[in-house]
């Protein structure tokens, strides 16, 4: 998704103004070869090619080596319609509807069944008609011994360029949120390069928000956190949501204001110890209410942020003013290095591996009667 810089600057000016009494200048950045700190490649030689027979489309290898836990993967339903395949990356026709299979393995070695809530993102935007139930999310129940359960994902025709598909499963959605906001994000991520295209990256405007925490000063490095602790109160420590109660209670009509904190991320490859740390890391921040994506800032469903290597965390204020009466699940996601093909993110096993994780926090708000 391309965003006009002038519009985003206006939105982020509001954010920065809410973070400090004096707004700091915002810098804008784009992902390129230089700030990924890897050697440039042409679109035709982007990543080593692999062949369909090298993919475990039937799950036989998983069955042999995997006796308990949950495994899952994404593959285009019809591999023959792809022009080329690399690690987690597929070249396809543009403007043609595409079906992707989400495969699950849940072997007999597990102790009991598992319930999952499934969400599909295309270029960091939630799809509403991608799953068989044609809804914003779909629930899946797996019994131990279920193998090769296939969930088809229907994607719209893609414009030429690089597109990211992320399939997310949240375990035990019927349970109350953890009092620490902890949540296990089960995810699969794939890249679809819709031909014809010349650019190896999706064009995204990233903005650097003021760093509040410093790694050099031993401030906590945060992938993502949700807190009510304001900037002025943080000297007493950053408190995790509403611990020990997972539900934050508020009366109907009373605004709820809290903060999302997130900062720099790198990947240490032990097989390449001579690599310098990344100077910058890039990530997207998303917000969901009751598993439906909502605006994280005014008129903005995705916030794209770049953080330098001393940025332990930056602060994004979030406010809800119209939550209905009852209990609501608030899910915040952080997606590392959006818009870059998976085959580049995974990189050479002996070279640079770029941040490609997906982190989440799941908390609760209970709106009481007036």
pLDDT at 352 over 60: yes
Confidence of residue 24 (pLDDT cuts 50, 70, 90): low
Can you name the residues that pair with 325 across neighbouring β-strands? Answer: none
Report pLDDT digits (tens) over 286-336: 999 999 999 998 889 999 999 999 999 999 999 998 899 999 999 999 999
> In the numeric block, which tokens belong to residue 216?
């050099």
Q: Is the dihedral of CA 121, 123, 129, 131 positive or negative?
A: negative
Report pLDDT digits (tens) over 183-233: 999 999 999 999 999 999 999 999 999 999 999 999 999 999 999 988 888
> In the numeric block, which tokens belong to residue 328?
């609501």
The pLDDT value given to residue 175 = 95
Interacting residues of 171 by C-beta distance below 8 A, sequence separation 6+: 114, 115, 116, 184, 186
Pairwise CA distance, residues 301 & 324, whole Å: 20
Global pTM value: 0.91
Q: What 3-state DSSP class applies to 235? A: helix
Question: What is the mean pLDDT of the segment spanning 351-370?
Answer: 95
The pLDDT value given to residue 240 = 85
Pairwise CA distance, residues 170 & 362, whole Å: 10
**CB neighbourhood size of 67 (10 A):** 10
CA angle 311, 35, 348 (to 5 degrees): 105
The pLDDT value given to residue 12 = 43
The pLDDT value given to residue 25 = 55
Pairwise CA distance, residues 184 & 305, whole Å: 23
Query: Which segment, 4-18, 261-275, 321-335, is predicted with the most confidence on average?
Result: 321-335
Q: Strand ranges (DSSP E) for 79-143? A: 84-86, 89-93, 98-106, 114-122, 125-126, 138-142
Pairwise CA distance, residues 125 & 313, whole Å: 24
Under DSSP, the state recorded for 79 is: G
Pairwise CA distance, residues 354 & 346, whole Å: 6
Pairwise CA distance, residues 116 & 125, whole Å: 20
Question: What is the mean pLDDT of the segment spanning 141-149?
Answer: 91
Pairwise CA distance, residues 3 & 6, whole Å: 9
- Report the b/e string of 153-185 with b at 16+ CB within 10 A: bbbeebeebbbbbbbbbbeeeeeebbbebebeb
Q: Is 234 exposed, middle or buried (0-12, 13-18, 19+ CB in 10 A)?
A: middle
């Amino acid at each position: 998704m391309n965003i006009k810089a002038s519009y985003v600057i206006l939105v982020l000016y509001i954010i920065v103004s809410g973070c400090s009494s004096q707004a700091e200048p915002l810098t804008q950045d784009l992902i390129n070869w230089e700030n990924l700190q890897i050697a440039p490649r042409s679109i035709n030689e982007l990543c080593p090619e692999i062949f369909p027979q090298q993919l475990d489309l039937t799950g036989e290898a998983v069955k042999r080596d995997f006796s308990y836990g949950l495994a899952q993967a994404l593959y285009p339903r019809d591999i023959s319609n792809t022009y080329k395949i690399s690690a987690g990356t597929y070249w396809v026709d543009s403007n043609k509807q595409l079906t992707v299979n989400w495969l699950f393995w849940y072997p007999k070695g597990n102790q009991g069944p598992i319930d999952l809530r499934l969400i599909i993102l295309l270029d960091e935007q939630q799809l509403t008609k991608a799953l068989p139930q044609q809804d914003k999310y779909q629930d899946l129940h797996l019994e131990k011994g279920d193998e090769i359960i296939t969930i088809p994902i229907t994607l719209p025709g893609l414009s030429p360029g690089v597109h990211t598909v992320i399939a997310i499963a949240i375990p035990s959605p019927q349970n109350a949120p953890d009092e620490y906001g902890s949540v296990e994000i089960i995810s699969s991520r794939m890249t679809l390069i819709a031909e014809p295209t010349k650019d190896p990256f999706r064009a995204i405007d990233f903005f650097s928000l003021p760093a509040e925490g410093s790694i050099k000063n031993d401030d906590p490095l945060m992938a993502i956190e949700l807190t009510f602790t304001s900037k002025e109160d943080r000297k007493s420590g950053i408190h995790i949501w509403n611990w020990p109660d997972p539900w934050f209670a508020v009366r109907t009509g009373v605004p709820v204001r809290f903060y999302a904190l997130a900062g720099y991320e790198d990947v240490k490859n032990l097989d390449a110890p001579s690599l310098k740390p990344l100077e910058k890391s890039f990530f997207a921040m998303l917000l969901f209410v009751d598993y439906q994506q909502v605006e994280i800032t005014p008129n903005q469903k995705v916030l794209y942020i770049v953080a330098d290597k001393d940025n332990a965390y930056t602060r994004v204020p979030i406010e809800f003013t119209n939550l209905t009466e009852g209990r609501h699940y608030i899910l915040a996601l952080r997606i590392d290095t959006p818009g870059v093909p998976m085959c580049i993110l995974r990189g050479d096993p002996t070279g640079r591996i770029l941040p490609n994780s997906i982190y989440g926090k799941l908390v609760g708000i209970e709106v009481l009667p007036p």
